[in-house]
Structure 1
Amino acid sequence: MKALAEREIRGSFVNCTKGEASRIALPRDLAARPWDDLDFLGWRDPSTLDRAYLVAEHRDRLVGVSLRVAPPRPGILHRGMCSVCLTTHPGSGVTLMTGRKAGAAGRQGNSVGVYLCTDLACSLYVRGRKVPEPGGRFAESLTEEEQVARTRDKLAAFLDRLFD
Protein backbone atom coordinates (compact mmCIF):
# COMPACT_ATOMS: atom_id res chain seq x y z
CA MET A 1 0.00 0.00 0.00
CA LYS A 2 1.26 3.50 -0.73
CA ALA A 3 1.72 5.97 2.10
CA LEU A 4 -1.39 8.07 2.67
CA ALA A 5 -1.82 11.66 3.76
CA GLU A 6 -4.50 12.90 6.13
CA ARG A 7 -6.48 14.54 3.33
CA GLU A 8 -6.56 11.32 1.29
CA ILE A 9 -7.69 9.30 4.29
CA ARG A 10 -10.48 11.69 5.29
CA GLY A 11 -11.71 11.96 1.69
CA SER A 12 -11.91 8.18 1.27
CA PHE A 13 -14.75 7.39 3.68
CA VAL A 14 -17.83 6.00 1.97
CA ASN A 15 -20.11 5.13 4.88
CA CYS A 16 -20.12 8.31 6.92
CA THR A 17 -20.76 11.98 6.28
CA LYS A 18 -17.99 14.45 5.44
CA GLY A 19 -18.52 16.00 8.87
CA GLU A 20 -18.07 12.64 10.59
CA ALA A 21 -14.97 11.93 8.49
CA SER A 22 -13.47 15.29 9.48
CA ARG A 23 -13.84 14.39 13.18
CA ILE A 24 -12.21 10.94 12.98
CA ALA A 25 -9.15 10.63 15.20
CA LEU A 26 -6.42 9.60 12.75
CA PRO A 27 -3.35 7.63 13.84
CA ARG A 28 -0.52 9.91 14.91
CA ASP A 29 2.14 7.58 13.55
CA LEU A 30 1.22 7.67 9.84
CA ALA A 31 4.79 8.42 8.79
CA ALA A 32 6.11 5.44 10.78
CA ARG A 33 3.63 2.86 9.43
CA PRO A 34 5.20 -0.02 7.46
CA TRP A 35 3.32 0.96 4.27
CA ASP A 36 5.08 -1.61 2.05
CA ASP A 37 3.77 -4.40 4.31
CA LEU A 38 0.18 -3.14 4.56
CA ASP A 39 -2.80 -4.27 2.52
CA PHE A 40 -4.95 -1.74 4.36
CA LEU A 41 -4.58 0.95 6.98
CA GLY A 42 -6.57 -0.02 10.05
CA TRP A 43 -6.78 1.59 13.48
CA ARG A 44 -8.93 1.76 16.57
CA ASP A 45 -10.22 5.08 17.87
CA PRO A 46 -8.16 5.79 21.01
CA SER A 47 -10.98 7.79 22.60
CA THR A 48 -13.65 5.10 22.40
CA LEU A 49 -13.60 1.31 22.48
CA ASP A 50 -16.43 0.87 19.99
CA ARG A 51 -14.93 2.52 16.87
CA ALA A 52 -12.42 1.34 14.29
CA TYR A 53 -11.50 2.51 10.80
CA LEU A 54 -10.16 0.79 7.74
CA VAL A 55 -8.80 2.39 4.54
CA ALA A 56 -7.84 0.28 1.52
CA GLU A 57 -7.30 0.50 -2.20
CA HIS A 58 -10.39 -1.17 -3.63
CA ARG A 59 -11.51 -1.41 -7.25
CA ASP A 60 -8.97 1.22 -8.34
CA ARG A 61 -9.90 3.78 -5.71
CA LEU A 62 -9.21 4.51 -2.08
CA VAL A 63 -12.08 3.41 0.18
CA GLY A 64 -12.40 4.17 3.88
CA VAL A 65 -14.99 2.61 6.15
CA SER A 66 -16.05 3.41 9.67
CA LEU A 67 -16.67 0.31 11.78
CA ARG A 68 -18.47 -0.37 15.04
CA VAL A 69 -16.65 -2.78 17.32
CA ALA A 70 -18.72 -5.30 19.27
CA PRO A 71 -18.08 -5.17 23.01
CA PRO A 72 -15.91 -7.96 24.42
CA ARG A 73 -17.71 -10.82 26.09
CA PRO A 74 -16.33 -10.94 29.64
CA GLY A 75 -15.60 -14.28 31.21
CA ILE A 76 -15.67 -16.23 27.94
CA LEU A 77 -12.50 -18.22 27.28
CA HIS A 78 -12.25 -19.04 23.61
CA ARG A 79 -10.13 -18.61 20.50
CA GLY A 80 -11.41 -16.68 17.52
CA MET A 81 -10.25 -16.66 13.90
CA CYS A 82 -10.01 -13.54 11.78
CA SER A 83 -12.13 -13.87 8.64
CA VAL A 84 -9.62 -11.88 6.59
CA CYS A 85 -6.15 -13.19 7.49
CA LEU A 86 -7.13 -16.49 9.16
CA THR A 87 -5.05 -15.76 12.27
CA THR A 88 -6.43 -17.14 15.53
CA HIS A 89 -6.26 -15.24 18.80
CA PRO A 90 -7.28 -16.08 22.35
CA GLY A 91 -9.97 -14.13 24.19
CA SER A 92 -10.84 -10.80 22.64
CA GLY A 93 -8.09 -10.90 19.96
CA VAL A 94 -10.74 -11.29 17.24
CA THR A 95 -13.75 -8.97 17.23
CA LEU A 96 -16.92 -8.60 15.22
CA MET A 97 -16.76 -5.26 13.43
CA THR A 98 -19.72 -3.93 11.49
CA GLY A 99 -19.83 -1.20 8.90
CA ARG A 100 -22.84 0.74 7.76
CA LYS A 101 -23.47 0.07 4.08
CA ALA A 102 -22.70 2.85 1.63
CA GLY A 103 -25.48 4.90 0.06
CA ALA A 104 -29.21 4.54 0.54
CA ALA A 105 -28.93 1.10 2.16
CA GLY A 106 -26.71 2.54 4.88
CA ARG A 107 -29.06 5.44 5.48
CA GLN A 108 -31.78 2.84 6.05
CA GLY A 109 -29.64 1.25 8.76
CA ASN A 110 -28.27 -1.75 6.86
CA SER A 111 -24.81 -2.96 7.83
CA VAL A 112 -22.32 -5.74 7.15
CA GLY A 113 -20.12 -7.46 9.71
CA VAL A 114 -16.80 -9.28 9.62
CA TYR A 115 -14.60 -10.88 12.27
CA LEU A 116 -11.23 -9.09 12.26
CA CYS A 117 -8.07 -9.11 14.34
CA THR A 118 -8.89 -6.64 17.11
CA ASP A 119 -5.62 -4.76 16.50
CA LEU A 120 -6.27 -4.68 12.70
CA ALA A 121 -2.74 -5.96 12.04
CA CYS A 122 -3.83 -8.67 9.57
CA SER A 123 -1.25 -7.65 6.96
CA LEU A 124 1.57 -7.94 9.47
CA TYR A 125 0.45 -11.34 10.75
CA VAL A 126 0.26 -12.80 7.24
CA ARG A 127 3.76 -11.56 6.42
CA GLY A 128 5.23 -12.73 9.74
CA ARG A 129 6.10 -9.13 10.73
CA LYS A 130 3.96 -9.46 13.86
CA VAL A 131 3.70 -12.70 15.80
CA PRO A 132 0.37 -13.65 17.38
CA GLU A 133 -0.01 -15.73 20.52
CA PRO A 134 1.35 -19.28 20.20
CA GLY A 135 -0.83 -21.28 17.84
CA GLY A 136 -2.11 -18.11 16.16
CA ARG A 137 -0.97 -18.97 12.64
CA PHE A 138 -1.52 -22.41 11.24
CA ALA A 139 1.19 -23.99 9.13
CA GLU A 140 0.05 -23.57 5.54
CA SER A 141 1.15 -24.98 2.22
CA LEU A 142 0.47 -21.61 0.57
CA THR A 143 3.37 -19.27 -0.01
CA GLU A 144 3.43 -15.91 1.70
CA GLU A 145 2.44 -14.25 -1.59
CA GLU A 146 -0.56 -16.59 -1.90
CA GLN A 147 -1.58 -15.87 1.69
CA VAL A 148 -1.33 -12.12 1.02
CA ALA A 149 -3.48 -12.53 -2.12
CA ARG A 150 -6.07 -14.50 -0.13
CA THR A 151 -6.12 -11.80 2.56
CA ARG A 152 -6.64 -9.10 -0.07
CA ASP A 153 -9.42 -11.15 -1.71
CA LYS A 154 -11.24 -11.63 1.61
CA LEU A 155 -10.94 -7.92 2.38
CA ALA A 156 -12.24 -7.04 -1.10
CA ALA A 157 -15.23 -9.38 -0.58
CA PHE A 158 -16.10 -7.58 2.66
CA LEU A 159 -15.80 -4.16 1.03
CA ASP A 160 -17.92 -5.36 -1.94
CA ARG A 161 -20.68 -6.31 0.50
CA LEU A 162 -20.65 -2.74 1.85
CA PHE A 163 -21.53 -1.50 -1.64
CA ASP A 164 -24.32 -4.02 -2.50
Structure 2
Amino acid sequence: MRSLTEQDIRNSFINCSKGEARRLAVPRDLGERPWEDLDFLGWRDPGAPDRSYLVTERDGRPVGIAFRFPASRRGFLHRSMCSVCLTTHPGGGVSLMTARKAGAAGREGNSVGLYMCTDLACPLYVRGRKVPESGARFQESLTVEEQIARARDNLSAFVDQLYA
Protein backbone atom coordinates (compact mmCIF):
# COMPACT_ATOMS: atom_id res chain seq x y z
CA MET A 1 0.00 0.00 0.00
CA ARG A 2 1.23 3.51 -0.71
CA SER A 3 1.71 5.84 2.22
CA LEU A 4 -1.21 8.10 3.08
CA THR A 5 -1.50 11.56 4.55
CA GLU A 6 -4.07 12.59 7.12
CA GLN A 7 -6.01 14.43 4.41
CA ASP A 8 -5.94 11.34 2.12
CA ILE A 9 -7.42 9.34 4.97
CA ARG A 10 -10.13 11.84 5.88
CA ASN A 11 -11.19 12.20 2.23
CA SER A 12 -11.39 8.44 1.68
CA PHE A 13 -14.35 7.48 3.90
CA ILE A 14 -17.34 6.06 2.06
CA ASN A 15 -19.69 5.28 4.93
CA CYS A 16 -19.68 8.34 7.13
CA SER A 17 -20.37 12.02 6.64
CA LYS A 18 -17.63 14.54 5.86
CA GLY A 19 -18.13 16.00 9.33
CA GLU A 20 -17.66 12.59 10.96
CA ALA A 21 -14.53 12.02 8.85
CA ARG A 22 -13.15 15.42 9.97
CA ARG A 23 -13.70 14.55 13.64
CA LEU A 24 -12.37 10.99 13.74
CA ALA A 25 -9.01 10.25 15.36
CA VAL A 26 -6.34 9.60 12.71
CA PRO A 27 -3.11 7.86 13.80
CA ARG A 28 -0.31 10.32 14.51
CA ASP A 29 2.43 7.87 13.50
CA LEU A 30 1.67 7.71 9.76
CA GLY A 31 5.31 8.36 8.88
CA GLU A 32 6.40 5.35 10.95
CA ARG A 33 3.96 2.80 9.53
CA PRO A 34 5.44 -0.15 7.57
CA TRP A 35 3.56 0.82 4.37
CA GLU A 36 5.33 -1.80 2.23
CA ASP A 37 3.90 -4.52 4.51
CA LEU A 38 0.34 -3.14 4.64
CA ASP A 39 -2.59 -4.11 2.45
CA PHE A 40 -4.68 -1.67 4.46
CA LEU A 41 -4.24 0.81 7.27
CA GLY A 42 -6.33 -0.13 10.28
CA TRP A 43 -6.62 1.48 13.71
CA ARG A 44 -8.88 1.69 16.74
CA ASP A 45 -10.19 5.00 18.00
CA PRO A 46 -8.52 5.66 21.37
CA GLY A 47 -11.37 7.94 22.44
CA ALA A 48 -14.19 5.57 21.44
CA PRO A 49 -13.51 1.93 22.37
CA ASP A 50 -16.31 0.65 20.12
CA ARG A 51 -14.96 2.28 16.92
CA SER A 52 -12.24 1.37 14.48
CA TYR A 53 -11.28 2.45 10.99
CA LEU A 54 -9.72 0.89 7.93
CA VAL A 55 -8.37 2.43 4.72
CA THR A 56 -7.59 0.20 1.76
CA GLU A 57 -7.03 0.80 -1.94
CA ARG A 58 -9.66 0.17 -4.59
CA ASP A 59 -9.07 1.02 -8.23
CA GLY A 60 -5.93 2.91 -7.23
CA ARG A 61 -7.74 5.17 -4.75
CA PRO A 62 -7.96 5.00 -0.95
CA VAL A 63 -11.29 3.79 0.44
CA GLY A 64 -11.99 4.37 4.13
CA ILE A 65 -14.44 2.38 6.23
CA ALA A 66 -15.74 3.28 9.69
CA PHE A 67 -16.56 0.26 11.88
CA ARG A 68 -18.33 -0.33 15.14
CA PHE A 69 -17.81 -3.42 17.24
CA PRO A 70 -18.94 -4.68 20.64
CA ALA A 71 -16.56 -4.20 23.54
CA SER A 72 -17.50 -7.57 25.06
CA ARG A 73 -14.74 -10.04 25.79
CA ARG A 74 -14.88 -13.79 25.44
CA GLY A 75 -13.12 -16.22 27.71
CA PHE A 76 -9.45 -16.98 27.00
CA LEU A 77 -10.29 -20.57 26.05
CA HIS A 78 -12.66 -19.45 23.30
CA ARG A 79 -10.92 -19.12 19.92
CA SER A 80 -12.16 -17.24 16.86
CA MET A 81 -10.86 -16.88 13.31
CA CYS A 82 -10.52 -13.68 11.32
CA SER A 83 -12.43 -13.75 8.02
CA VAL A 84 -9.75 -11.67 6.28
CA CYS A 85 -6.40 -13.26 7.18
CA LEU A 86 -7.64 -16.53 8.74
CA THR A 87 -5.59 -15.97 11.90
CA THR A 88 -7.08 -17.48 15.06
CA HIS A 89 -7.08 -15.60 18.34
CA PRO A 90 -8.15 -16.45 21.88
CA GLY A 91 -10.64 -14.34 23.79
CA GLY A 92 -11.51 -11.01 22.19
CA GLY A 93 -8.82 -11.17 19.51
CA VAL A 94 -11.50 -11.35 16.80
CA SER A 95 -14.54 -9.06 16.77
CA LEU A 96 -17.60 -8.68 14.60
CA MET A 97 -16.92 -5.37 12.87
CA THR A 98 -20.03 -3.76 11.43
CA ALA A 99 -20.01 -0.98 8.87
CA ARG A 100 -22.79 1.13 7.44
CA LYS A 101 -23.21 0.63 3.72
CA ALA A 102 -22.15 3.39 1.39
CA GLY A 103 -24.67 5.85 -0.05
CA ALA A 104 -28.42 5.79 0.38
CA ALA A 105 -28.47 2.25 1.78
CA GLY A 106 -26.21 3.32 4.64
CA ARG A 107 -28.28 6.43 5.34
CA GLU A 108 -31.29 4.11 5.65
CA GLY A 109 -29.43 2.14 8.34
CA ASN A 110 -28.25 -0.86 6.33
CA SER A 111 -24.97 -2.37 7.39
CA VAL A 112 -22.75 -5.41 6.82
CA GLY A 113 -20.43 -7.22 9.19
CA LEU A 114 -17.15 -9.06 9.13
CA TYR A 115 -15.28 -11.08 11.76
CA MET A 116 -11.86 -9.49 11.84
CA CYS A 117 -8.74 -9.25 14.02
CA THR A 118 -9.67 -6.74 16.71
CA ASP A 119 -6.27 -5.04 16.42
CA LEU A 120 -6.65 -4.78 12.59
CA ALA A 121 -3.14 -6.18 12.07
CA CYS A 122 -4.10 -8.77 9.43
CA PRO A 123 -1.36 -7.77 6.93
CA LEU A 124 1.30 -8.16 9.62
CA TYR A 125 -0.01 -11.56 10.76
CA VAL A 126 -0.04 -12.92 7.20
CA ARG A 127 3.53 -11.74 6.58
CA GLY A 128 4.78 -13.07 9.93
CA ARG A 129 5.70 -9.54 11.12
CA LYS A 130 3.42 -9.91 14.13
CA VAL A 131 2.62 -13.03 16.14
CA PRO A 132 -0.93 -13.59 17.41
CA GLU A 133 -1.44 -13.82 21.16
CA SER A 134 -1.93 -17.56 20.75
CA GLY A 135 1.71 -17.78 19.63
CA ALA A 136 1.42 -19.01 16.04
CA ARG A 137 -0.72 -19.16 12.94
CA PHE A 138 -1.88 -22.38 11.33
CA GLN A 139 0.61 -23.99 8.99
CA GLU A 140 -0.68 -23.69 5.43
CA SER A 141 0.36 -25.16 2.11
CA LEU A 142 -0.14 -21.75 0.45
CA THR A 143 2.85 -19.48 -0.01
CA VAL A 144 2.92 -16.16 1.83
CA GLU A 145 2.17 -14.39 -1.47
CA GLU A 146 -0.90 -16.60 -1.98
CA GLN A 147 -2.04 -15.92 1.60
CA ILE A 148 -1.63 -12.18 1.00
CA ALA A 149 -3.68 -12.44 -2.20
CA ARG A 150 -6.40 -14.39 -0.35
CA ALA A 151 -6.56 -11.79 2.44
CA ARG A 152 -6.80 -8.98 -0.13
CA ASP A 153 -9.57 -10.85 -1.96
CA ASN A 154 -11.46 -11.43 1.31
CA LEU A 155 -11.28 -7.73 2.19
CA SER A 156 -12.20 -6.72 -1.37
CA ALA A 157 -15.31 -8.94 -1.24
CA PHE A 158 -16.35 -7.18 1.98
CA VAL A 159 -15.82 -3.73 0.42
CA ASP A 160 -17.96 -4.85 -2.54
CA GLN A 161 -20.80 -5.53 -0.07
CA LEU A 162 -20.60 -1.94 1.18
CA TYR A 163 -21.39 -0.67 -2.31
CA ALA A 164 -24.13 -3.24 -3.05
Q: Same fold (TM over 0.5)?
A: yes
- Report which stretch shifted further, 75-84 or 19-28: 75-84
Aligned to 1:138: 138
Aligned to 1:55: 55
Aligned to 1:94: 94
| Alpha-carbon spacing, 1:63–1:74, altered in 2? closer, same or farther (3 Å) | same
* Residues 4-45 of structure 1, C-alpha deviations (whole Å, 9 max, x = no match): 001100000000010000001001111100000000000000
What is the distance in 2 between the residues matched to 1:83 and 1:137?
A: 14
Question: Is residue 88–residue 135 contact of structure 1 (8 Å, CA) maintained in 2?
Answer: no
Aligned to 2:27: 27
Aligned to 2:148: 148
Alpha-carbon deviation of 1:124? Answer: 0.1
Alpha-carbon deviation of 1:77? Answer: 3.8
- TM-score (normalizing by structure 1): 0.96
> SS of the residue aligned with 1:99?
strand
* Stretches (4+) displaced over 2 A: 73-77, 133-136
Aligned to 1:78: 78
Alpha-carbon deviation of 1:49? Answer: 0.8
Percent of paired sites with the same residue = 68
* Residues 105-162 of structure 1, C-alpha deviations (whole Å, 9 max, x = no match): 0001000000110100000000000011335411000000000000000000000000
The count of corresponding residues between Structure 1 and Structure 2 is 164
Question: What is the RMSD computed on CA atoms of the aligned residues?
Answer: 1.2
Alpha-carbon deviation of 1:69? Answer: 1.2
> SS of the residue aligned with 1:146?
helix
Amino acid at match of 1:3: S
- TM-score (normalizing by structure 2): 0.96
What is the distance in 1 between the residues matched to 2:17 and 2:50?
A: 18
Unaligned runs of 5+ residues in structure 2 are: none
Question: Is residue 90–residue 134 contact of structure 2 (8 Å, CA) maintained in 1?
Answer: no
Question: Is residue 89–residue 136 contact of structure 1 (8 Å, CA) maintained in 2?
Answer: no
What is the distance in 1 between the residues matched to 2:100 and 2:120?
A: 18
